[in-house]
Amino acid sequence: MRHEVIVGVERRRFWPDEMKLSILREVGVGGATVTDVARRHDVTRQHIYQWRRQLKDKGLWPEPEGMAFLALDAPDLPLTSEPESATGAPAEIGFANGRILRCPPGMAEAEIIQLIRLVETA
C-alpha cells in the first residue's frame, strides 16, 4: 500500500477585524452576493456569515434596522361596480371533529367548498 504525503504552505490565514469589515461591506454593493464576495476573496460563504456574527458580538457590525415603511403614491382607481351588499345571517357549518366554519353572507359557493376542504384536512 502506497501513501502520499502532501507538504505545502499551511492554508490557515489570519484576518484582522478591519479586513473582515472591509470584505463584509462588499456584500450587496453593485448586486454582489455573499457567494460573489467569498469567491473574490478566496474564502467560503460560511466565513462571511461567521465573521458577521463575530463582529456583531464585538459591536463592530451594526444590527439590522427594524422594519421601515415607505410612502407609496398610488393613483385613485375608479370603482368599476358597486360591491354587492350581503344580507342575511352568516352560514355556520359544523364538522364531526368539532370545528365550526362561519362564512359571511354572500360568500361565493366555490370559496365555501374550498374552505370546507381545507378545514376537513386540517
pLDDT along the chain (122 residues), means of 10: 72 88 92 94 94 92 74 76 68 82 86 85 72
Domain residue spans of the chain: 17-58, 91-121
| Cβ atoms of residues 111 and 119 within 8 Å | no
Quote the pLDDT of residue 84. Answer: 62
Q: How many angstroms separate the CA atoms of 61 and 51, rounded?
A: 9
The pLDDT value recorded for residue 10 is 65
What separation, in Å, do the N-terminal and C-terminal C-alpha atoms of the chain show? 61
Cα→Cα distances 88→72, 102, 113, Å:
37, 13, 19
